[in-house]
Structure 1
Amino acid sequence: MSNAVSPVRPEDAKAVQDIVARITSAWNENDADRLATVYSEDASIVLPGAHLKGRPAIRDWMAEAFDGKWKGTQVLGAPLELRYIRDDVILLLSQGGAYPPGATEVPVEHAIRGIWVFVKQDGEWIITGYGNTPVRAPIPLPEGPR
């Protein structure tokens, strides 16, 4: 039975938030190996100009990005919506993007909205799909330590 309109159970919401926090931490350290571990082996990512299929492709693309365009950046992924598609599938809509250290906002050229698909495999949540699209407006960073 579908839970599409049910609130996400606190333990599942925490698991998803923990995964996003792991991505943020890995990104902020430019660690493509660690970042790739939150994706399923057959995950799909769609980004402007890129389609990545599978954990190795995700890892390789991120390693190249951390050596180039995204080197030294930090990332924000603030939740907008979190809901079940089924008991073992969660949809997360977020906004954020990459920004340089010391910034007060995600600059317009890097501001995105993302869609994440989490599945429960072997009792653990993992990302099986992700895509993002430009917002075309800056996104203020939340107050507090970064």
Structure 2
Amino acid sequence: MVQVHEPTEVAALQQLFQRMFECWRLGDGHAYADCFTQDVDYVVFDGSHIQGRKANAEAHQALFDGLLRGSVPEGEVKSIRFLGPDVAVLHAEGGIRLRWQRKAARNRRSIQTLIAVKREGAWAFTAFHNTRIQPPNAFARLMMRLMTPGPRSSAAR
């Protein structure tokens, strides 16, 4: 893995992320999709998989014209890791504030993994995966406890 710490590259990726948010705020599906490569793989929080910039633009425009009209994305990039001079992995956290909300619902917060590539001097996202942040339920907590080795009792020795 090549570590690149060029401040201008980090700034360019941060700007691309902010541009993606601005296009969402404007409700412009085509401008939003322009933040991605033609062959983007875009996975939504529910597991739906959108392939390609055109499908991404159409899907988002339908959302911006409907359920997500007037919505505002809230979030930030938490980390950027360069895999080479022209490939980076970003992790971000955030949520969507719907037009009738004062702030994004806490139970709708997500973590996003984005892969960015630099082609012809410009960065674009080529993969996006969105996953809801959900605390483990009672069953999951029990299973984690049962699967985590703990101190053994003296009777077992």
TM-score range, shorter chain: 0.7 to 0.9
Alpha-carbon distance in 1 for matches of 2:66, 2:19 = 21
> What is the aligned residue count?
134
**SS state of the match for residue 84, structure 1?**
strand
Return the match for 2:9 from 9, 12, 30: 12
Return the match for 2:64 from 63, 66, 74: 66
Segments of 5+ residues of structure 2 without an aligned counterpart are: 136-157
**SS state of the match for residue 106, structure 1?**
coil
Q: CA deviation at 1:101?
A: 5.0
**SS state of the match for residue 68, structure 2?**
coil
Q: Could you tell me which residue of structure 2 aligns to residue 113 of structure 1? A: 111
Tell me the percent identity.
Answer: 24
Q: RMSD of the TM alignment (CA)? A: 1.8
Q: In terms of Rg, which structure is larger?
A: 2
Q: What are the Cα deviations for residues 66-112 of structure 1, in whole angstroms up to 9, with x where unaligned?
A: 12221111002311111101221011000002103585542134311
Alpha-carbon distance in 1 for matches of 2:7, 2:67 = 36
Q: Which has the higher helix share?
A: 2
Alignment-mate amino acid for residue 20 of structure 1:
F
Q: Could you tell me which residue of structure 2 aligns to residue 56 of structure 1? A: 54
Q: Could you tell me which residue of structure 2 aligns to residue 76 of structure 1? A: 74
Q: CA deviation at 1:29?
A: 1.1
TM-score, with length taken from structure 1: 0.84
Alignment-mate amino acid for residue 9 of structure 1:
E
- Does structure 2 conserve the Cα–Cα contact (< 8 Å) formed by 1:46 and 1:131? yes
